[in-house]
């Protein structure tokens, strides 16, 4: 009996040892597998890190953190150009264009810029450009921005603000690979020059121009020249806008040239900017002022005193003006707007919005040849000063200001002084009484002497 028990205990002991050995062996195998996996992962990570390091070593800079005007730029060995900062680049020496052949991909992160003229001119190998971080709200000139970018197949311009742009000439010219342009976000209400804008885009088939405003455009020569495959200019009436015989030269569009404009504009002052507005003066003495906002006044000397007046009223131009048309909104001051324009005889103010104007002081001061002016459309509810408004309008004989709202008026001194021949007039009793309380507004006005 004792021997049987001993044998049984021995069997159990040996069995337990085998079980523990099996457990140990299994654990060892598992540990070995885990160690192997860890080793493999470590090897893979080492390989990835090594690859990253090799890639980092491969990316070298042709130019790194270089200044160009107020901006900075870098160009790496893969052809990636990055431009960043606030302000303008040096237009006379655009640094990255010295390496134009090396540029393939571009990223622009810029604000406060006022011109993008020739920014990527003749970057013939540029294939991609990211403009999502380019703020162009202050830009006035986009001339030749992408000119000669023959490898550029597409451009996302949805972020581009063109509300202040005056010049778009040659903007996309000779972009020979472009097939489609979406420009429906473009505000062209201030653009004067679109010459050669799409000229030489031989593969361009479609342009969305549905929001284009051509009302201010003065120059459009060769705008679509050599657009041999252009079939669709969405929203653009190419038969209406025909500026000269070069505009659609060698272009596929079926343009009716019988509507060709033959009038040629010659200027004493080419369209230019004064403050927020644009103005021009042609050889016939016609002044045009257009835009939204205020003109920029400057010092101007005459025989009496110094005035802050618009540039067209300087000694150089005032006597040349015989007629004027004003298409302006958002203006707040019309002070001395036509001062000393002694030869002004015709002025069209039908497209002038005076809703926000507060100052009309000296508006037609010394316009001695002006015999009639239609101001019936004036909204004067916010005007506080009408002093000298028609002072020395010696030829003025017909005037209707019966609609003038004088609820905000504070001053109107000498409003009609020296209006010698003003015999036909309509004026409200409220304004008469206001003028009577303010001094010599009717002096030297023989047809209004009853109000003195």
**With 90 as the cut, is the pLDDT of residue 84 above it?**
yes
**With 60 as the cut, is the pLDDT of residue 361 above it?**
yes
pLDDT at 54 (0 to 100): 47
pLDDT at 21 (0 to 100): 44
**With 90 as the cut, is the pLDDT of residue 396 above it?**
yes
Listed by start position, the domains of the chain span 267-451
Residue 241 to residues 73, 163, 245, 258, 391: CA-CA distances in angstroms?
40, 21, 11, 12, 43
Q: What integer best gives the mean pLDDT of the chain?
A: 84
Confidence of residue 307 (pLDDT cuts 50, 70, 90): low
Confidence of residue 139 (pLDDT cuts 50, 70, 90): very high
Q: Which of 27-31, 167-171, 178-182, 278-282 has the lowest mean pLDDT?
A: 27-31
- Detail the DSSP E strand segments found in 122-165: 128-134
pLDDT at 227 (0 to 100): 92
pLDDT at 269 (0 to 100): 86
**With 50 as the cut, is the pLDDT of residue 77 above it?**
yes
| pLDDT greater at residue 266 or residue 424 | 424
Q: Which of 101-115, 305-319, 360-374, 393-407 has the lowest mean pLDDT?
A: 305-319
* b/e 160-171 (16+ beta carbons within 10 angstroms → b): bebebbbbbbbb
Share of the chain above pLDDT 70, in %: 81
CA–CA dist 156, 134 (Å, integer): 12
pLDDT at 90 (0 to 100): 94
**With 90 as the cut, is the pLDDT of residue 287 above it?**
yes
| pLDDT greater at residue 269 or residue 187 | 187
CA–CA dist 338, 336 (Å, integer): 6
pLDDT at 331 (0 to 100): 95
pLDDT at 39 (0 to 100): 45
pLDDT at 67 (0 to 100): 96
- H/E element, 48: helix 2-58
Share of the chain above pLDDT 90, in %: 59
Pairing, β 105-111 against β 128-134: parallel
Which tokens hold the place of 58?
């491969």
Tens digit of each residue's pLDDT (9 = 90 or more) over 221-266: 889 999 999 988 887 877 667 777 788 888 888 766 555 444 445 7
**Average of pLDDT values for 109-120?**
96
Highest mean pLDDT among 18-32, 126-140, 210-224, 284-298: 126-140
| pLDDT greater at residue 230 or residue 43 | 230
Residue 266 to residues 143, 280, 282, 326, 406: CA-CA distances in angstroms?
22, 10, 6, 19, 41
**With 60 as the cut, is the pLDDT of residue 89 above it?**
yes
Q: By 3-state DSSP, what share of the chain in percent is helix, strand and coil, each rounded to 5?
A: 20, 25, 60
**Average of pLDDT values for 310-338?**
92
Say if CB 357 and CB 332 are below 8 A apart: yes
**With 90 as the cut, is the pLDDT of residue 352 above it?**
yes
Q: Which of 30-44, 236-250, 339-353, 435-449 has the lowest mean pLDDT?
A: 30-44
pLDDT at 94 (0 to 100): 95
| pLDDT greater at residue 260 or residue 173 | 173
| pLDDT greater at residue 224 or residue 452 | 224
3-state secondary structure of 308: strand
Tens digit of each residue's pLDDT (9 = 90 or more) over 328-346: 999 999 999 999 999 999 9
Which tokens hold the place of 235?
């929203």
pLDDT at 68 (0 to 100): 96
């Amino acid at each position: 009996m004792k021997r049987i028990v001993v044998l049984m205990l021995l069997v159990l002991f040996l069995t337990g040892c085998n079980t523990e050995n099996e457990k140990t062996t299994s654990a060892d195998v598992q540990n070995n597998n885990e160690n192997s996996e860890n080793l493999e992962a470590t090897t893979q990570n080492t390989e990835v890190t090594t690859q990253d390091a090799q890639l980092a070593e491969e990316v070298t800079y042709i130019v790194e953190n270089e200044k160009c005007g107020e901006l900075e730029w870098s160009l790496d060995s893969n052809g990636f150009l990055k431009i960043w900062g606030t302000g303008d680049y040096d237009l006379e020496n655009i640094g990255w264009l010295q390496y134009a052949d090396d540029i393939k991909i571009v990223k622009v992160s810029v604000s406060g810029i006022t011109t993008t003229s020739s920014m990527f001119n003749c970057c013939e190998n540029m294939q991609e450009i990211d403009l999502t971080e380019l703020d162009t709200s202050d830009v006035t000139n986009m001339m030749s921005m992408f000119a000669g970018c023959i490898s550029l197949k597409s451009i996302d311009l949805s972020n581009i603000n063109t509300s202040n742009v005056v010049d778009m000439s040659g903007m996309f010219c000779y972009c020979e690979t472009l097939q489609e342009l979406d420009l429906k976000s473009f505000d062209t209400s201030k653009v004067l020059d679109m010459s050669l804008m799409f000229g030489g885009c031989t593969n361009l088939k479609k342009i969305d121009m549905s929001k284009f405003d051509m009302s201010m455009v003065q120059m459009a020569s060769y705008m679509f020249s050599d657009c041999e495959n252009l079939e669709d200019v969405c929203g653009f009436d190419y038969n209406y806008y025909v500026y000269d015989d070069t505009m659609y030269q060698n272009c596929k569009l079926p343009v009716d040239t019988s509507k060709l404009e033959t009038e040629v504009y010659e200027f004493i002052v080419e369209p230019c900017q004064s403050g927020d507005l644009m103005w021009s003066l042609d050889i016939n003495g016609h002044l045009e002022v257009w835009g939204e906002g205020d003109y920029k006044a400057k010092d101007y000397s005459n025989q009496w005193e110094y005035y802050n007046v618009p540039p067209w009223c300087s000694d150089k131009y005032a006597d040349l003006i015989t007629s004027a048309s004003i298409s302006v909104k958002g203006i707040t001051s019309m002070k001395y707007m036509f001062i000393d324009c002694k030869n002004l005889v015709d002025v069209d103010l039908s497209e002038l919005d005076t809703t926000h104007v507060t100052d009309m002081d000296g508006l037609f001061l010394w316009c001695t040849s002006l015999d009639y002016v239609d101001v019936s459309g004036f909204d004067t509810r916010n005007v506080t000063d009408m002093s000298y408004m028609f002072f020395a309008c010696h030829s003025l004989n017909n005037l209707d200001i019966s609609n003038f709202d004088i609820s905000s008026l504070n001053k109107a001194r000498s409003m009609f002084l020296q209006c010698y021949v003003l015999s036909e007039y309509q004026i409200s009793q409220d304004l008469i009484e206001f003028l009577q309380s303010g001094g010599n507004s009717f002096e030297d006005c023989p047809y209004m002497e009853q109000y003195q």
